[in-house]
Structure 1
Amino acid sequence: MGRKLEGLQRMLIIINKLKGLQHYVSREELENYVALRMEERDGTPVDLRTLQRDFNEIESLFGIRICFDKKRNGYYINEEDDLKKEQYERLLLNFDLLNAIDSTSNLHTYVLAEHHRPMDCECLPLLIKAIKFSHPVIFNYIYVREGGKIREKKVLPHYLKEDQQRWYLLAYDKGMLKTFSVDCIRNLSILYEETFKRNMNINVEELFKDSYGIWNQTDIPVEEIELSYDALDGSFLKSVPLHHSQEVLVDNEEEFRIRLHLRITNDFVMALLARSRSLTVVKPMHLRERVRKVYEEALKRNG
C-alpha cells in the first residue's frame, strides 16, 4: 500500500473515531483503535509520532484541528471545525472505498465494492488544499466530447461536488463558473505563490436544484414533467427518486405516476432510458417524442 494512500486511510480512521458520541478519546484508546483499523487494511503499525504527523496533515489539508485536553486526558475535534468534519469525512470515505479495497487488502474478502477509481486520485487532496487556502490551480484537461482534445487550464477552485460516483471541480475559468470532471484532470499543480478572493456568495444548492446531476444548462428551460410507470418500477422510484422535485401523483397496483420540475438535459433523458421498462412520458410531448426517437434508432441498429 502506498504511503500517501495509507496516510489518507489513517486520517479517515482518526476523524471517524473523533466524530463519534465520545467527546474525548484518550491517547491509548486512539492509538489502539487506529492500529486495529490499519491492521485490517494490511497497514503498517502506528505510534504517537505517526498520529501527530497525521493531526498536522489533517489540519493542513482539511482545516480540522485536533486538540488534546490535559484535564480530560483526551483528544477532540475543535468545535469551530465541527461543521467541516462531516463534509471531509464523506470525501475521505469515498476516497477510501474507491482506492483501498483491492487485492492488497483483506477487506476484499468480505466487501464487494464497485471498482470505479478516479484516474488521478491525488487530485482530491490537492484540490481541497487549493480551495481551502485560495490558491489557483493549473492542469491539462481532457475534453472527451471533442475526441480527447487536451487544453491547459488555469482556474480559481471553489468547490468539489460528487455526483453518481464521480467528483467534479467547480471553478472560475476566465471569470465564468464552470464544472470540470476530476477524472479528466491531468498534471495538476497548485500555484502557491498566487492567491485569490474566494466568492462565498455562490448558492451551490440553487445552482444545481433544477438540473439532473452536475450539468446545469441554464439555456434549457425548467419544465413540468409527468411520468407514468407500473407498480414494480414505482417501488424502485419511491426508494430512489429521480430528482428532489419528484412528487407522487398516483400510487396504486396499476400505476405509479410522478411529477418533476427540472431542465430536460441529455443526462436526464439517459436516466429515463435506464429505467424505461414500463415508462410512459405523459408530458411534455417533446420529451415523449425524444424518447420515442431513441427507441426507434435503437431498433434500427439492433433489428
Structure 2
Amino acid sequence: MSKTLFKNYIWLVDTIYRAGEITFEAINSKWMMSQLSDGKPIPLRTFHNWRQKVEEVFDINIECNKSTNEYFIENAEELNSNSVMAWLLNSFTVSNLIQESSDIKKHISLENVPSGQKFLNVVLESIKENVQLQVEYKSYHEQKSTKFILSPFFVKLFKQRWYLIAESDKIRIYGLDRFLSIVKTDKNFQFPKNLEVESYFADCYGIINDEDLKPGIIRLKVSAYQANYIRDLPLHHSQKEIEENNAFVIFEYFLKPTFDFLQEILKYGNRVELIYPTHLRDELSTMIEDALQPYLT
C-alpha cells in the first residue's frame, strides 16, 4: 500500500468520524479543500473502493443511512478505545493541518521521539512478514553489546520511547533506542497463539511486565484538584472512583505494582497518597526516604 493511499484512507475515516453523518457530496467538498486532492474530486467508484479498503485495513465499517444518504462510522465510539486508530487519527490531524497551512507550524510544539527514527520501519516490516531479526543490543546495565537473533511480536510507545516486545530465549522487552543494528533475516517465526499486545500489558501501568509480580487492588488518595487531571487521563484502564468529597478522591486500580507505576505516583508529590495495600505503602515510604537522603547531607 502506498503512503498516499494510506493517508487517503485515514483522511476519509477522520472526516466521517468528525462529521458524525455526512453526504458523499459534502465529503467531496471537504476533499477538494484538502491538499491530498490535487484539485481533483473523488469519483464515486473510488469512494466505495476506499470504504472497502478501510474495512479491510482498519476493521472500520463505513455505513450509509439510506433515508438521508449520509455516511457514518459504525460503532464510532469504539474508535476511542482503539489506541492505535486513535493515535493514527490524532497524528493525521496534526500532519494535515501543517500541510494545509505552513504558517501553523510555528504554533505547534511536539515531543521528540528519537527511538522511532532509525529502526521502527524495519521492525514493523519484520512483524508483518513474520521474519526474525539479527540484532546488536547494548543495555544500559551492560558494558558490552551483544548480538543475537530474535522474533519480533509487537511494539509499544511509552513516554517518548518505542519498545520492542520480542523473543530470543524468552519474551523480553527491548528499548528500541538501545539497538546498535537491526537486520532482517530470511528465517520465519511462528507468532504465539493467544498473544496480544493489549492482553500482555493489561495488568501493567506502562512498559514493565514483571512475571514475579501479581496484579492486585491498589488505592490512591488524590487531592480534589489533582483528581480532575487523573479523571481526564486515567493512570490505567481499571481506574474507578470509590469515594469522593470536597477535599479528595479515592481511586481504585487492579494492576501490578511495577516500578514505573510507583515512579508515576511519586511524581505527584503530596497530591497523591498510596493508601492500600499497606506493604506497598511501606515500600513507597522507603523509596521517599531514600530519595530524601542526598538532600540531608
Please say whether Structure 1 and Structure 2 have the same fold, judged by a TM-score greater than 0.5: yes
Amino acid aligned to 1:135: V
Equivalent residue in structure 2 for 1:201, among 164, 172, 194: 194
Structure 2 SS opposite 1:72: helix
Name the residue aligned to 2:45. 72
Change (3 A) 1:14 1:202: same
**Aligned pairs (5 A) from 1:14-29:** 14-19=8-13, 20-21=15-16
Q: 2:150 aligns with which of 136, 155, 167?
A: 155
Q: What are the ranges of 5 or more consecutive residues in structure 1 without an aligned counterpart? A: 1-6, 37-45, 49-68
2:149 and 2:168 in contact (8 A); partners too: yes
Of the three residues 134, 138, 141, the one matched with 1:138 is 134
User: Which stretches in structure 2 are left out of the alignment for 5+ residues?
Assistant: 17-21, 62-81
Q: Secondary structure at the match of 1:224?
A: strand
2: CA distance, partners of 1:96 / 1:156: 33
Shifted more, 78-87 versus 278-287: the winner is: 78-87
The 8 Å contact of residues 137 and 155 in structure 1, kept in 2 or not, is answered as yes
Q: Report what 2:67 is aligned to.
A: none
Q: Percent identity?
A: 23
Mapped partners of 1:165, 1:296: distance in 2: 29
> How far does residue 153 in structure 1 lie from its aligned partner after superposition?
2.7
1:250 is aligned to 243
2:165 aligned with 1:170:
yes
The answer to whether the 8 Å contact 1:234/1:256 transfers is yes
How many angstroms does 1:31 deviate by? 9.4
* Corresponding position: 1:230 with 2:226: no
Contact 1:24 1:72 in 2 (8 A): no
| 2:8–2:36 CA contact under 8 A, matched in 1 | no
Aligned equivalent of 1:82? 58
Instruction: Return the offset for 1:258.
Output: 1.6
| Corresponding residue number in structure 2 for 1:295 | 288
Query: Aligned pairs, how many?
Result: 259
- Paired AA for residue 165 in structure 1: Q
Q: Report the Cα offset of residue 234 of structure 1.
A: 1.5
1: distance between equivalents of 2:254 and 2:209? 13
Q: Please tell me whether residue 240 in structure 1 is matched to residue 233 in structure 2.
A: yes
Counterpart CA distance in 1 for 2:39 and 2:131 is 33
Task: Tell me if the contact between 1:14 and 1:34 (Cα under 8 Å) persists in the aligned partners.
Answer: no
TM-score (norm 1): 0.70
Determine if contact 1:225/1:259 at 8 Å carries over to the other structure. yes
CA distance in 2, matches of 1:188, 1:23: 47
Distance 2:44 2:288 in 1: 69
Contact between 2:158 and 2:206, CA under 8 Å: does it hold in 1? Answer: yes
**Counterpart pick for 2:113 among 97, 113, 117:** 117
Matching residue of 2:263: 270
What code does the residue aligned with 2:181 have? N
Q: TM-score, normalised by structure 2?
A: 0.72
> Matched residue of 2:145: which SS?
strand
Quote how far apart the aligned CAs of 1:73 are. Answer: 5.0
